[in-house]
Structure 1
Amino acid sequence: MKLIYILIALFFTTTSYAQVDQKKQRAIDSSHHVAINPKNSIDVRLKAYKYCAWKTIYVDFNQGLKHSIAFLEFAKTSSDYKMTSKAYHYLGHSQMMLGLFDEASKTLQEGLDNAIKNNYHNGIAELNGDLGNLNNSLGNSELALAYHYKSLEHSQTYNLRIEYARAQINIGEIYEAQGKYKLSIETFEEALNYCHINKLVGFKSSIYESLGDINLSIKEYKTAEKNYTTAVDYAKRLNNNNRLIHSLNKLGELHIVLNNLITASAYFKQALHIATTRKAYVSQAKIRANLAHTYLLQNDTRSALEYISLAINQFENLKIKDDLDKAYIIAANIYSKRNQISESHNYYQKAYHLAKESNLLQTLKLASEGLALTHEKRGDLLNSVKYHKEFNTYNNKIRDEEDIKDIIRLDLQDTYKQKSFKDSINKVNEIKQLQFEYNKKEERSKLKNYIAITSILALILIVLCITYYYFENKKTAAVLAAKNKAIKAALKDKEILLKEVHHRVKNNMQVVSSILYLKSKSTEDDVTKEALSDSKKRIDAMQLVHQKMYQKGNYQQIDVLEYFNDIVNLLLKPIQSPEDRFEVHGKVLWLDVEQAQALGFILHELIANSIKHAWRKTDQKQVDIRAAKTGTNTITFNYTDNGEGLPERFNIETTKSFGMKLVYSLSTRQLLGKIETNNANGFALNITFNAR
């Protein structure tokens, strides 16, 4: 069996945990070629370097370190201080994850100085936060807090919402580690409220997970489970697999405390499945260690040994120190359970040295106790006594800290109990209110039943009446349908007949117009020729009305502006020179056929009058025609030209001119309107009448 575990370890060692899957690695390699190609622009190369670093620093620390160094070296040669600041951030993170704390400190401080020099606020806030995280990892919590508060203040001053939220979360986590649970809870709740206001949903899973950690510390297990579950929900909603893995792992750890080992194992396996699918190797190592602990508590040392061997191999190959001490302790306990004293002693020794470096009291306590027992079993009483003394020392230190924390826990538990009591009172009141509302609802329900029965009876009566009227109406409708069919057929025949009549009228007018034209051509007398020509044009104007009706299929109304344009084209276009201007103004205006035809005759006479009397041969000609609806039913027609105007004592009511007599007659008798003339700037005529 031991050989099997050695072979498993050898397999993972030879594969070296290629943490980036092949598809992503190909993309990273492709970007790296872009980055190192001097033919590409600086901006393109910077983006390529950034991509390589960003895709590796969180999953493959060694590769992340290599790409971050290259990114920073190239960024320093450019003038892009934003990219340079981001490169410092990536490199510092990679160095910190690999335990290169001195190098990380130097890198991050240099990056902060560079950001301050360039007055780059995002970089200042981010790198202060990085230095805070570094000092927290080194156990300098007060200095870490100072850096995080600098990040917080800077973010608040320059409205950097993401960095502000991140700083609040980091501060809350440090307070939690210090046992300042009240301050930690207040900080996290403030951060939660800030994220809610600013719609920073991405941080909520992390905050709820941290609140769950505090609840677990003060033994408020139900509240802890509620917060961890909320963290899981937010992680799923945002498709944040890393946070989902963390929160599921925390739920597993909670159920170990509650001794619900089967539930804990289920959560760990769920987290491990996601971590394996997403190739999150760091998380895999931590979860496998927790699964090993769970199997150990269930006395399944075979499964426990399998998982812890894989976990430790991952930790060591990835050079991860975080939680490695705990994995060594679990391995030592498993071997101790299997009475393999030598292996147990080796792992206690490893845990002891690792904890000594980072001053991890809990691990030092467990490791010294384990070493004391293994030395005793080996017969080395001198070292056994030595480690027993160390165990007592560390135990006393932890007990002193635990006593202080117990006081804080009791205070917080009392706060939670008071809150729970208030919640209980509120729930009792809510239940009473619900009972009252239920009783009222029951009464309303009975009343509704009576109303429903009455309504059903009334409805039946109504349905019977409707049925009777339906069949009666159906009979009537059948008779009406037959009559309507006959009416529609007659109407269709009438429309066809009317269309044919207008078509024939138009054709007859065309014939008359042609006859007049031919007669005028064969007549030598000028007066007769002019009379025949005028008559032809009047016939053409009348013909246009019938043509419009025939084309549009509307025998009730026509668009007078379109009709006017046709008359202008008929009469004025033949005499128009490039300098002349003949315009019809207004929007679409539909009028009764008779009124439209009357206006057409009037316009024809006015244009004919202008052509004969208004201009000399060399004059620039100008005619403006307007027709519009000015009131609910009032139509205004206006005609102006720039000619010589009417004679001084001209009176349209008493004139002997046939054309102007026709204009006056059509305006007052057929249109029943008012007519006005004006000689201010040429000739102007205005007619106002009511539309039919």
Structure 2
Amino acid sequence: MKNIFIIILTYMLFVPAIPFAQEQNKLLQLVEKENNKQKKADLLQELSSYYILKPGEEKSDMDSAKVYLQQAEKICREIAYHKGEGNNYLLFAGAYREGGDRVTGKKYAQKAIDCLTKYNEYSLLGEAYMEMACYYDQYEGEMEEKIATTAKGIEAFKRAKNYKRAAEANKVYGEYFFLINKYDRALEELKKSLSLYKKAGAKDLQGIYDIIGQAYVITGNTEEGIKYGLLALKTAEEQGDRSMQLCTINNRLGLTFDSLNENDKALKYFEDALVLAKENNDANAVYFVTNNIASILVLKNKVKEALKLEEDALRNYKATDIGAIVGLNSSIFYTYMYSKEFDKAKKYLDKIMELKVKHDFAEEEIFRINHLASNYYFSVKDFNKTAQLVEENRFLAKKMNVVPSWRIYYIWKYRVDSARGNYKNALIAHQEYKRFDDSISSVNKSEQIAQLQVQYETEKKDQDIKLKQQNIELLTQESDLQKSRAEDARILRNLTFIGIIVLLIILGLLYRNYRNKQKANSKLEEQQIVINDKNHALEHLLNEKEWLLKEIHHRVKNNLQIVMSLLNTQSAYLKDKSALTAIRDSQHRVHSMSLIHQKLYQSEDMTSIPMPAYITDLTEYLKDSFDTSNIHFDLTIEHVDFDVSIAVPLGLILNEAITNSIKYGFPEKEEGVISIKLIQNTEDTFMLYIRDNGVGLPDDYAIKKENSLGLNLIKGLTEDLDGSLNLYNDNGVVIEITFINKTFK
């Protein structure tokens, strides 16, 4: 089975091109020094864009962006700076959209359009229209509005002679037409995008060439598809591009030549794609391309070469995409099946079946896996197991209710019943298979209609002959009744002709209705196939997004571990005890944040942290970091998951409080207890409770006057949680923090 691992629609959402800001501190200095009000407004807007485009969608970042935009807005109105005013609205829209408030964001986008239209600021107007297009959802029946708004953005960019942005917008515009199956229009718009790129002087055109080539292949014009694919390849090589984009171009060319049965050419491009996938260390792509190469090698009867390639990929690369893993194992399975090494094939079949049990596959994928397993068990003559898999596919075919699945089910049902000697059921299954075979079905029905027509004509002629014979006999026997008999025959003949005409009309209407029904069914099947293809593409995008998000959290965790290692290395060179203590305290704080990201990438739900596991791990880490043999830890943690914005402050608060209790609560190393509780008071209100039975706070201790780093951190983090802090003595130090979880699930 061939694999296309990168789809044609590269952008499902066009994000307006707000320029990336300079380094934050430098911008703040420039804002302070700038006396020209217009330039100061521009710098404030650039500073806000820094927070809007900053990785992540933190509420604090969006709030900071809005503060700077409010200052810029005041200046713009004061000096009647209309371009700045329109850009301010545009940036406000982006800030609200990034913060999740799409309703307010859309209102600001419309304000930007109105302002920039009034003052003929066309380049920014184009950005405002592209921002507005972001608010129309193609899955909510708003595709017409999305397309129309994007078209306005393109025209605005053209009027501003900003041809590069016009080209980028036109590219997305063309892709929207693919989504609504208007392929000719999509090609037309993609070519307009190419012209605009050239007009803008762009050199790296391989991406747009590749998309146009793939569009031609989809619409059936393979020759033009290959032409643009080769042009994409040539352009990428001229630009020195060795990225995954070039890997995709080679893989697509290989698939196109493979569809034309030009295996040698296909193999060359697949091999080039594999080299690039390995250069970029993309394990998923290595699996997909290896599968494609192995399919051709098996066709060439190069089974050993195919097996070596497949097993090398499996051994040397660890893919994360479950589709890629199943695909490569299936490829190795089929290679061994082709060489009739059934025992070795079984090993890879078992891996696939194990993945089937562990993962929540779509019905189509389970159907394919069962089909694959049926091949093995039928080949080794285990007809009972084959029958079990075929029966499971019957339920899946019933759920999916598409013709290809029913056809596969019935042909396997026929094979199994035939092998088991159940010829009656085998015959019924074969008849059902024929019923779902469109072309054979059409021929059979045409033959049946022709037979009925011949039979009808024969019966009609026999009837005419009988009538004539009867008339002749009547004429010879009764001459006196000749006229009346002739009149009766004439009437009877007329009635017969009328009946024949009526019957022919009825048959014609029935046949026309039958043909219309066939056409309608055919169209519905084609539409279902297109829907299924789009569902597969969306599933692939979702899997890819989840993989990328896990990779980000993993890398953040690794970076924080590096920071801890650097702090640890630095501490080795410090002799000052207070400096060493500060370094170690920082290590503990960094570790508390590192645990957050570790939990995120290890969890299936990457949006929240299970607090019992997190607090337990953090406590264990702090116990191991100090001599706590004299201290017992008592944990009572509510079973609740918190968002990262809640978990990080709580982790840092716990780190500070537990560290202080360990270090200062038991100075004589007496036996002690540190209690930690996270309790849910109401539906969305929680209390974090940390206490020890140590020496407690001094009698003259005043929390408001205290200026230690640890306490300031606790106070500041409590404010970040919009919570309240209560610190007091009760046979030891007690810290109570009450807060509201706005993201409570």
- If the TM-score is normalised by the length of the shorter chain, which range does it land in? 0.3 to 0.5
**TM-score of the superposition, structure 2-length normalised?**
0.36
The structure having more radius of gyration, on CA atoms, is: 1
**TM-score of the superposition, structure 1-length normalised?**
0.38
